[in-house]
Copies of this chain bind each other. A is one copy, B any other.
Amino acid sequence: MSKRPKFTLKAKNGNARLGEIKTSRGIIRTPAFMPVGTAGSVKAMLPDWVEASGADIILGNTYHLMLRPGAERIAQLGGLHTFMNWPGPILTDSGGFQVFSLSKLRTIAEQGVTFQSHIDGKTLELTPERAIDIQVKLEADIQMVLDECTPFPCEKDAARSSMELSMRWAERSKQAFEDHAAPDQALFGIVQGSVYPDLREESAAALCDLGFDGYAIGGLGVGEGQELMLDMLGVTAPFLPEERPRYLMGVGTPLDILASVERGVDMFDCVMPTRSGRHGQAFTWNGKLNLKNAIHADDPQPLDETSSCPAARDYERAYLHHLFKAGELLGPMLLSWANIHFYQELMGATRQAIAKGRFADFASETRHRLAGSSETTN
């Protein structure tokens, strides 16, 4: 029997899909939200909290980890799971997105991208082969092909050349993966093509011809707005095989996730719950709260007394407010925890709704709840 991660589609409800990916390190229930462990840590959280929140898989960033502490070092220390004390599945990105968003002096060529580290200014190269080499050394359960992240907005000609380069890189990534990956690792391709439906279709077709364990939809959530993002999902998803998981990279808000599940997406990652948490924003079933707001200074209520998350259940809002005012680290710790827990509750409820064949109602009810008492828009 193959040890290769395997997706099973268990139910459909409209286009919303319920499934699971079996990996050698555990089962990933989909739709899944992957907390982001950028530099080997889901920021301000213990791995135990991440697991207890219901997360089956986390994401690691190849770009950050290759710069510090280095893929070869992590390999010597027993791989990323051992290093960060997270025994469950890990998906790593290819590093491409961060090269384009964080590094300086990038030069893109057919061979790959040359860039300067944002940490120490060193010149480094990332090629499709090196991106796979790093991810194999990290022992990532799910790996991503290197792609060029098309900026938004982008003229169609430029979007086409960029997408075509990404497709050639995808082929090289696949070859490198087949040559070097362990039998229990998987590789996902990434659909590009900016906001042009025909380019998206072409890209999806090219990837399907190559054949991947899963398909990501890249280059969205980069400023095009929710409507255009959902349009692109709508035109891309039909060209992706039913029997493979679909991953919308870097997205998003609870409402983005609901709308994307509705269009057939199975996997998500986003820094929003942890980043917002570090800045005093809490996600709850009644909408977002800004705990720095003076309105909370005398409020003895917890974020959510019915939550199974200690951070949401056991601390007064007034106390959370105080922690942020006083600059206490416990504030970011508790809100990151509560937010990741909320995101996992949302995914759990989403899966349950699909299983019961009532996803549309659930999505509609949830939209109303989340809009309810929000202090800020979701």
Which chain A residues have a beta carbon within 8 Å of chain B's beta carbons?
39-41, 43-46, 48, 64, 68-69, 73, 76-78, 82-85, 278, 297-298, 300, 310, 314-316, 318-319, 321-323, 325-326, 328-330, 332-333
Contacts of A318 in B (CB 8 A): 69, 73, 77, 83
How long is the Cα–Cα vector from A240 to B249 in the complex, in angstroms? 67
Known contacts A68-B322, A323-B41, A325-B68; A298/B330 CB under 8 A: no
Contacts of A330 in B (CB 8 A): 41, 43-46
A47, chain B: closest CB distance, angstroms: 9
Contacts of A44 in B (CB 8 A): 329-330, 333
A258, chain B: closest CB distance, angstroms: 30
How long is the Cα–Cα vector from A262 to B169 in the complex, in angstroms? 70
A331, chain B: closest CB distance, angstroms: 8
Return the contact of A69 from the options B68, B78, B278, B325 (Cβ within 8 A). B325
How many copies the complex holds: the figure is 2
How long is the Cα–Cα vector from A332 to B85 in the complex, in angstroms? 16
18 other A-B residue contacts (CB within 8 Å) besides A44-B329, A69-B297: A39-B322, A39-B326, A40-B319, A40-B328, A41-B330, A43-B330, A46-B333, A48-B310, A69-B325, A73-B297, A78-B300, A83-B316, A83-B318, A85-B315, A85-B319, A278-B329, A329-B332, A329-B333
In the assembled complex, 30 residue pairs joining A and B whose CB atoms fall closer than 8 Å, in A order, are: A39-B326, A40-B319, A40-B322, A40-B326, A41-B323, A41-B328, A41-B329, A41-B330, A43-B328, A43-B330, A44-B329, A44-B333, A45-B330, A46-B333, A68-B322, A68-B326, A69-B318, A73-B318, A76-B298, A77-B298, A77-B300, A77-B316, A77-B318, A77-B319, A78-B316, A83-B318, A83-B322, A85-B315, A278-B329, A333-B333
